[in-house]
Amino acid sequence: MRALLVMLLMCLPGLAVAQNAATLVADSVELNGEDQLIATGNIEVLFDGSRLTASQIIFDQPSDTLRITGPIFITTPDGTILTADSATLDPRLENGILQGARIVLDQQLQLAANQIDRRDGRYSQLYKTSATSCRVCGTGPPLWEIRAERVVHDTQERQLYFSNATFRVRGIPLLWLPRMRLPDPTLERATGLLIPEQRNTTQLGFGLKLPYFITLGDYRDITLTPYVSQETSTLEFRYRQAFVNGDLTVEGAVSDDTLLTKRRSYLFADGNFALGNDYQLFFDIEAVSDPAYLLDYGYANKDRLDSAVQLLRVTDDTLYQARLIYYQTLRDDESNASLPPIIADLSYQSSYRPDFGGLLSYETSFDLAYRYSDVDGDAGRDVMRTGVDAMWSNDWVLPLGFVAEAQTGVQTDLYLIADDTAFAENDLRVVPRAGVTLRWPLGRVGSNGTSHLIEPTISLSWAESFGGTPPNEDSIRTELDRANLLALSRFAGEDAVETGAQVAAGLTWTRAGARGVTSTFSFGRVIRQEVQSGFTATSGLDGLQSDWLVAGQLTAPGGFLFDTRTLWDDRNGLTVADSRVAWRNDRISLGANYIWFGPDIAEDRDGTISEWTIDAAVGLSDAWTFELDGRYDVAADRAVDAGLGLQWQNECVTVDVSASRRFTSSSTVEPSTTFGLSGSIGGFSTGRSAGGIATGCGN
C-alpha cells in the first residue's frame, strides 16, 4: 500500500521551509531511529518543479543528504532530464554526485558520463563524457559524438564548456581541441560561430564562409562572415536591432577580388517604426558599387535598386501616404539620369457616407518625377503634378435579382513641366467621368451539393478630358485583366486617362464542387467610342475593341492549382498568355509558370517572349529532400538559369548540397556556375528545435 509523506518534516526540521516543502510518494516509508528515513518501491519526489523517481531513497538527517538507488530519473523545470545508477544529493537536488549518469537537454542533446557533480543547482560537472544528439544503438558508436575529459554545464548561462575534447564520426577521431565552448540547445541567442558554408563558383573559385554571431545585449546583434576564396577576400555583415516601436536590419559586404581592380561593396538596410497616432514609418536603402557585384556573389537578383522612405497612416475611413524613392539602374541599356531616378508622392484619401446615400470619397495628391539630365525631351523631362479627385458611388438590388452600381466623379490636375518643349510648362486638366454597372448573379445548387454561380455583367462609362495633355510618366505599362475589366480607367497611374464612351461586358462562371473542387471561368472585352492613345499592342486595350480576356482558375483539395489569363485579338489570335500550374502535398511541391508575349515595339520588344519557369521540392524519404528550379527561354531556345539542391537530415545531422548556373551574359555580367556545401550537427544550434527523422538501430 502506497504511503504519502510531506517532508516538512514532521521529524526532519532540516528540510522545513513551508512554502518549498518536498513531497515524497513511495510504496513503503519508514523511520530508522530518529534521524533516518527510508523509502522504497515506486518512489516519486516533487520539489520546486523538479521530479525524481527511484527504487530507494535514504534520507540521513545529520548529514542532510539523500542516498538514492537507481534507476534514477530526474526532470527539472527547464525540461532537462538526468538519469543515473546511483546518487548522493542534498534534499533540494541541487548539490551532490551522480554515478553512471546521463543528461538530456531539450530532448536533443545527451551527455553521458561516469560521474556528474551537481553544484548550487546551477553547475553540473561531468567526467569522461560523451556528447551527441544522435541515437545511440547498443554499444556501437553514434554517427557523431564529442568525447571530453570534462564538461561543465552552466544551467544559468546555458553554456557547455569542454576540456580535452575530441570530435568523432562513427568512433573515428577527426578533430581535437583543448578547450571548447558551445551553447546548449535551450539557448535562443549566443555569441559564437554559426554553420560554415563552402561555396565554389567559376568566377571566384573554391571558397569558405565562416559566420560569427555576436550578441550586443538582448535587443541587438551582429553577424560577421569572412568569405575567403582563391579570387576574393570578402567580409559580409548583418546588424539587427529591435526597438520598442520597431526594428532595424542592415546587411552588406566589402570585397577585394580579381574580377575588378577596385574595391567592391553593397549595403541594404530596412526598418519600420510605429510613430504613434496610427502613423508608421518604413524605409529601405539599397546601394552597390558596380552593376555586377550582387550577381557575382549571389546576394540579390535585381537589375534596379530602389531606396525609399515612406510615412503611412491608415484608419477606418482615411489613408495618408508620403513616399520618396531613389532608383539606381544596373541595366546596360539604361542610365540613372533618365529613369527618372527620383520619385516623390504625397496623397490623402478620405471617405464617408452622406445623408443622401452612397459613399463619397475624395483624394488630394502630389507627384514628382525628377531627372538629372538637362537635355530636352524624354531623357531630361521633369514633371510635378498636384491634383484633387472626388467620387460618389452607390449600389442597389433591383427586381429579379439584378444588382446595379453607379459612380460619378471629377479629377482635376495641375502639371508643371520642365526640360521638354513638346509640352507646355503649365497645364491644367479636368476629367469628369461617370459609369453604371449591371450584374445579374444566377445561382443553382445541384442534388449532390455542387453549386454554380453565373454572373453576366455589363458596364457603361464615359469620361472626357478638358485642358492639356500631360506627359505620361506613371502609366507606361498597362494590361487588361480580371481586376480592371470594368474600371472607369484602366491606366495604372494618374497621368493618362481613358476618354469617350465605352462598354465593358463579361461573364463569370464559378463552380464549387461537393468534393471540394472549385473552378472559375471568366471572359469579356471592352468596346469604345474612340481609340485611346497610350495602350500598346500587347496590352490588350489598343483600338476601338479590346482583345478578348479569357481567364480561369481550378483548385482541388489534394493541393492542385491551375490559374491562367490569356488575351486574344480578333485578327492575330493569341497576344498574351500567363499561366501557372502547381501541386502540393505533404511530400511534394511542384510548380510551373509559362508566359507568352507577342512582339511589341512600343514596349521595346522586337520578338516574341516565351518562357517556362519551374520550381519543385520533393521529399524523397523522411531524410532526403530534393529541390529544383529553372527558367528556360523557349523563343531563344536557351536556358536562362537553373539550380538544384539536395538535403539529408536526421535527428542529429543536416547536410545541404546545392548547384546553380546562370547562363545569361552582358557587358558587365558573365555566365557563372556556383556549388555550395553546408552542414550542421543538432543539439548545439541556438533557438533550433529538434527535427529530422531518427535513424533506426539495425541488428
pLDDT exceeds cutoff 90 at 24: no
Cβ atoms of 210 and 196 within 8 Å: the answer is yes
pLDDT of residue 66: 82
pLDDT of residue 118: 84
pLDDT exceeds cutoff 80 at 677: yes
Higher local confidence (pLDDT), 391 or 155: 391
Rounded CA-CA distance 498/491 in Å is 8
pLDDT exceeds cutoff 50 at 114: yes
pLDDT digits (tens, 9 = 90+) for 266-308: 999 999 999 989 999 999 999 999 999 999 999 998 989 999 9
Give percent of the chain above pLDDT 70: 94
Rounded CA-CA distance 6/24 in Å is 6
Rounded CA-CA distance 124/30 in Å is 32
pLDDT digits (tens, 9 = 90+) for 454-492: 999 999 999 999 998 999 998 888 899 999 999 999 998
pLDDT of residue 390: 96
How many of the other CB atoms lie within 10 Å of CB of 508?
A: 20
Q: What are the Cα distances from residue 385, in Å, to 381, 415, 424, 461?
A: 13, 5, 13, 25
pLDDT digits (tens, 9 = 90+) for 137-192: 777 888 889 999 999 999 888 889 999 999 999 889 988 989 988 888 888 888 88
pLDDT band at 642 (very low <50, low <70, confident <90, very high): very high
Cα maximum dimension of the chain: 112
Domain boundaries, the chain: 396-607
pLDDT of residue 698: 54
Grid coordinates of 219: 535587443
pLDDT band at 687 (very low <50, low <70, confident <90, very high): very low
HEC string of 270-338 equals EEEEEEECCEEEEEEEEEECCCCHHHHHCCCCCCEEEEEEEEEEECCCEEEEEEEEEEEECCCCCCHHH
Rounded CA-CA distance 635/646 in Å is 30
pLDDT band at 60 (very low <50, low <70, confident <90, very high): confident
Rounded to the nearest integer, the mean pLDDT of the chain is 88
pLDDT digits (tens, 9 = 90+) for 63-103: 888 888 879 888 888 778 888 999 888 877 778 888 998 88
- Across the range 238-261, mean pLDDT stands at 95
Give the length of the chain.
Answer: 699
pLDDT digits (tens, 9 = 90+) for 510-548: 999 988 899 999 999 999 999 988 898 889 998 899 999
pLDDT exceeds cutoff 50 at 7: no
